[in-house]
A and B are shown apart, each in its own frame.
Chain A
Amino acid sequence: MSITIQPAVRVETKRQPLPPRERLERIFNIDGVDALYGGKPAIKDVTMDVYKNLVTAIIGPSGCGKSTFIRCLNRMNDLIPGFTLTGTIRYHGQDITGNDVDPVAVRRHIGMVFQRPNPFPKSIYDNVAWGLKVLGMKDGLADRVERALTQAALWDEVKDRLKASALSLSGGQQQRLCIARAIAVEPDVVLMDEPASALDPIATAAIEQLMTDLKGEYTFVIVTHNMQQAARVADMTAFFSISRGDEGERYGELVEYDATQKMFTAPSDTRTEDYVTGRFG
């Protein structure tokens, strides 16, 4: 007996089909990752690959460990006391989880944009230029700033007031400035932790558009609680859900990971189906 799945969101079907997975270059090999806060697991046994030049979305209900997971990819959780990680995360084949790996070097290649816009209390220009200066990318500084702001679809709005404080921008502009700041230093991967959750629909659309425009140059991993957003921008989608352990403890796990098209139209796991059809979450 077959049931036709009616997804809660309209999935664009005109998108070009992905080439077979074997032909895609793997940027992350994530294998058996458990992330624990003070010994309590937040996510358990996550195994998945992230492919180069695609947008990979992480979806799932609140508390399923989406943010924890994405912050593992650039060692951002190192800042949290009591955080531990087991398993391996290989970035271009090299394990980045070990104590002998410099998290600063990891973050140099894997940038991040956060849930709430967090520009520096500096001018618009300096927000982008500061990172470049500190990291020694000083040649053609003004050009680099302009290119980053253009890529982030912000240049036209700010070119006449580059010296103004970044805090005078609207929320959506601030978030695009944060994206410009992140891509100015030429990372390989850009992680986005619910980048549009504090923004209005127009600003959200601008950010989704720039991800689509820029994915030829960067690899994006985006956490979102918004299924429409995943359906619109992502090539691959991973669905995380909350499970209960033997003693009733809650932790997040990866339920299913596949091409976005398939995840929203023909998922293989009933939990994914329940989530994308809006029966749960």
Chain B
Amino acid sequence: MSTHGITRADMHAVNLPRRRALNRLMEVLAWLAAAVAIGFLVLIVWSVARKGASELNLALITKTPATGFFTSGSGGLANAFAGTLVIVGIATLMALPTGILVALYLTEFAPPSVRNIVSLSLDVLNGVPAIVIGIFVYGLFVLGHGQSGYAASFALACIMLPLVARSTIEVLLLVPRALREASLALGVARWRTTLSIVLPQTIGGIITGTVLAVARVAGETAPLLFTSSLVGTQVHWNPHHALQTVPVAIFELSESADPQDHARAWAAALVLLLFILLTSLTARWLATRNRSKLSASR
């Protein structure tokens, strides 16, 4: 039999002061943990900004690195920014459609058993260290063919795929079943319902997920070292060849003997950081907009 009601002893517990103290302590601990997390972010941004500020100028993104002996230290990283743009762009073109199709299959068509397996695989793929993906793509494409922008894009797409698929699944699950039923009850085929009724509801969420994934892979270094790091100093746009990228450039500059190179590495890091911050903020803005749109359609 279940007991019910609250006795007087419960209301005036003898250890009430202790409970209150414990409650207070946990609150303070949680607050401290949050402060530490934010503190580290502030520290990173601040130190990067302080050390890179001297080299942060327009030449950084418009000029190529100087190659002459006497001119060492001048010039910019235009080749790295161009390469990152190309490689991340192609990676997005690979990962976005695949990720959306995976998500559509899982939420709309897959039987529950398959859904669990594929869903677990996505989580595992998401957890694979970037360097392992780099080695994998190295063995797959680079050995015998040489480095290329495509190989780098493929490696980054492997990292993006689970991120895009996961975020798309989440917004697909938010689409009310009643909306799917409304279309199906008209005698409209399943694929048509999915494309014309379900998918348009999720555009905002898909963009958010993609932007976050782009921000994440734009800073990946390890896979690029294997796939696109043996490069010259000129600006190239052709992904058939290895292209310089911002993370790899930062890595190389940081190993230079010239202190001015270090400053440039910090400046490039600052630009990368600002880019990621900007894209994350855009993603958040899109997410809130999409959520309010979805709830209005309930």
Instruction: List chain A positions with a Cβ less than 8 A from chain B.
Output: 74, 76, 79, 81, 104-109, 111-112, 114, 116, 118-121, 130-131, 134-135, 167, 178, 181-182, 185, 187
Contact = CB atoms under 8 A, between A and B. Distances in A.
B178 A114 contact: yes
A105 B188 CA distance: 9
A14 B251 CA distance: 90
Contact of A135 (B178, B187, B296): B187
Contact of B186 (A105, A106, A167, A185): A185
Contact of A178 (B182, B188, B293): B182
B201 A111 contact: no
B184 interface: yes
Contact of A182 (B186, B188, B192, B296): B186
A81 B177 CA distance: 14
Given A135-B186, A167-B296, A81 B192 contact: no
Which 6 residue pairs spanning A and B have beta carbons closest together? A108-B187, A118-B178, A112-B185, A121-B297, A131-B186, A107-B187
B289 interface: no
Interface in B161-201: 176-190, 192, 196-197, 201
B181 A79 contact: yes
B196 to A, nearest CB: 7
Given A81-B112, A104-B190, A76 B182 contact: no
A107 B296 contact: no
Nearest to A112: B185
A134 B181 contact: no
Contacts of A104: 184, 187-190
Contact of B201 (A106, A121, A185): A121
B182 A120 contact: yes
B297 A114 contact: no
A118 B112 contact: no
B44 to A, nearest CB: 42
Given A120-B179, A135-B186, A182-B185, 16 more contacts: A81-B111, A81-B112, A107-B184, A109-B187, A114-B182, A118-B182, A119-B182, A120-B197, A121-B296, A131-B183, A134-B186, A134-B192, A135-B188, A178-B182, A181-B182, A187-B187
A30 B179 CA distance: 28
A118 B176 contact: yes
A68 B180 CA distance: 18
B172 to A, nearest CB: 15
A28 B69 CA distance: 91
Nearest to A118: B178
A37 to B, nearest CB: 14
A147 to B, nearest CB: 16
Contacts of B178: 114, 116, 118
B179 A107 contact: no
Contact of B187 (A119, A167, A178, A185): A185
18 contacts: A76-B181, A76-B184, A107-B187, A108-B186, A108-B187, A114-B178, A114-B181, A114-B185, A116-B178, A118-B179, A119-B182, A121-B297, A131-B187, A134-B192, A135-B188, A178-B182, A182-B186, A185-B187
A67 to B, nearest CB: 12
Contacts of B187: 104-109, 111, 131, 135, 185, 187
A111 B189 contact: no
